Chains A and B, each alone.
Chain A
Amino acid sequence: DTAVSQTPKYLVTQMGNDKSIKCEQNLGHDTMYWYKQDSKKFLKIMFSYNNKELIINETVPNRFSPKSPDKAHLNLHINSLELGDSAVYFCASSQGSGGSTSTDTQYFGPGTRLTVL
């Protein structure tokens, strides 16, 4: 059983399109994250939800909108895609939210490689 799954794995699209990436975790974790990994492998957090509540909202364009219908799912919708959005997007989950006393090790999904043409 896959602990953190993402769909699709690859996404190739034209500039200006709108696309969504879905993430699901079956670990029973309370917190989920979206990260962007650029071509130089630099990993930057974008959003985090704890029990469906947004707790981290980094400075990203408002074309990016996360949605958490329940604590096992966190989706990322991107409007008006731009060339600079091309990257690998990772979803992750952890038991706590970083401010708790648990170890909060994050479990990462396989990634979605987004290519904007």
Chain B
Amino acid sequence: ELKVEQNPLFLSMQEGKNYTIYCNYSTTSDRLYWYRQDPGKSLESLFVLLSNGAVKQEGRLMASLDTKARLSTLHITAAVHDLSATYFCAVIPTGGFKTIFGAGTRLFVKA
């Protein structure tokens, strides 16, 4: 069965710094998603990546997908406190229906 692993699971960083969250998955996939969850809130879609080499950017977040390495990255540029949240990657395996979520990365940006 498809496994999705994120690392790190917890990240504390200073404002203004850059960092990358990694998402590895174990079988082939057509689609990879990144979601954000604020404490006590629901999940909000950030990006959907559909093909090898796909890159999407919004504000200080940039997501990329390497389907050959089965790896997606979420890069944070010049972090600000408002980015503090839990970030999940999620994958649908090729030909499948079920979305498998990673364990989430809790990001805390210190002001």
Chain A positions within 8 Å of B99 at CB level: 33, 45, 98, 106
* A-contact bits for B83-100, CB 8 A (1 contact / 0 none): 000101000100111111
Evaluate contact between A109 and B96: CB separation under 8 angstroms: no
Where chain A touches its partner, the secondary structure class is: loop
Interface flags, A7-51, vs B, CB<8A=1, else 0: 000000000000000000000000001000000111111001000
A104 contacts chain B at the CB level, 8 A cutoff:
yes
A56→B50 CA distance, assembly (Å): 22
What class of interface size applies to chain B in its complex with A?
20 to 34
Q: Is the beta-carbon distance between A42 and B31 smaller than 8 angstroms?
A: no
Q: Given contacts A103-B48, A104-B92, is CB(A98)–CB(B98) below 8 Å?
A: yes
Which positions 6-49 of chain B face chain A at CB distance < 8 Å?
31, 33, 35, 37, 41-45, 48
Q: Which residue of A lies closest to B88 (CB)?
A: A43
How many A residues touch the partner, as a band?
20 to 34
Q: What residue in chain B is nearest A100 (Cβ atoms)?
A: B97
| Across-interface contacts of A97 in B (CB, < 8 A) | 97
| A residues adjacent to B (C-beta < 8 A) | 33, 40-45, 48, 55-56, 58, 90, 92, 97-99, 103-111
